Structures are given as structure tokens and as C-alpha cells.
């Protein structure tokens, strides 16, 4: 088939080419068969059938998914606070144990006890 250089292609021809493009295994082979450039086929597709951006975006997360994420975040924060609390309880026990040893020996504590 002869190429139509510099000529406008009828709308019906462009539509037929785009329909065939959807099921073609090789766009290059289709372009050769139709006598048009491969890039021209893509250009027609982009102009005549712009992509639907909404279809390519993932759907917004469901309420359940948002709550699950928030629940996981809160569990992490709770675990961190529990570790901090355990650390400070252990440190407080060590300080109290030192104070008891110092009181028993009669020496002055390095830090004052509350109420002094």
C-alpha cells in the first residue's frame, strides 16, 4: 500500500487504524500494512484517545485500611513508650538500690532523696 505523505487521513481511516492497533501484536507490522508511520499511529492514539488518568491512579484507601494503618502506628508508639517506661523503672530501681547501700553505710548520698 502506498504511503500518504503530506496528506490528511480521513477520520474513518484513523479510527480503523486505532481499533486495529488495540489488538495488533506488532504496531510496526500494522504501520507497514497500513502504509503509515508507527509514530503517526501513536500520535493519532494520543490525540483521539487521551489516556484516562483516573483509571491509572490507585483507588483511595478505604476507611478500614486507614484505620488499620493508624492502629499499627499507635501500636508502634505504645511499644516505644513501654520500652521507655521499662528503662526508666530499671534506672529508678538502680538509684534506689544505691541509696539504700549508702544509707546503710552511713555515707552521704550523691543525690538528695525527695523531701530533703
Is residue 42 located within the same domain as residue 76? no
pLDDT at 1 over 50: no
Assigned domain for 49 exists: yes
Assigned domain for 79 exists: yes
Is residue 76 located within the same domain as residue 51? no
Q: What integer pLDDT is reported at residue 101 of this predicted model?
A: 86
| Residues 109/99, Cβ–Cβ less than 8 Å | yes
Is residue 66 located within the same domain as residue 29? no
Which range of residues forms the domain containing residue 78? Answer: 62-108
Assigned domain for 2 exists: no
Question: Considering its fold, how many domains does the chain have in total?
Answer: 2
CA 4 → CA 8, 11, 37, 61, 107, distances in Å? 8, 14, 10, 49, 106
User: What pLDDT digit, counting tens, does each position of 43-72 carry?
Assistant: 998 888 776 665 566 778 899 999 999 999
pTM: 0.40
Amino acid at each position: 500500500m502506498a504511503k500518504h505523505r503530506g496528506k490528511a487521513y480521513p477520520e474513518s481511516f484513523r479510527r480503523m487504524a486505532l481499533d486495529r492497533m488495540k489488538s495488533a501484536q506488532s504496531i510496526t507490522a500494522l504501520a507497514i500494512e497500513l502504509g503509515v508511520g508507527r509514530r503517526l499511529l501513536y500520535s493519532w492514539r494520543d490525540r483521539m484517545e487521551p489516556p484516562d488518568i483516573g483509571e491509572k491512579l490507585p483507588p483511595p484507601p478505604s476507611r478500614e485500611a486507614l484505620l488499620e494503618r493508624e492502629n499499627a502506628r499507635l501500636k508502634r508508639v505504645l511499644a516505644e513508650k513501654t520500652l521507655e517506661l521499662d528503662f526508666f523503672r530499671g534506672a529508678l530501681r538502680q538509684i534506689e538500690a544505691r541509696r539504700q547501700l549508702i544509707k546503710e553505710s552511713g555515707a552521704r548520698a550523691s543525690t538528695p532523696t525527695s523531701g530533703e
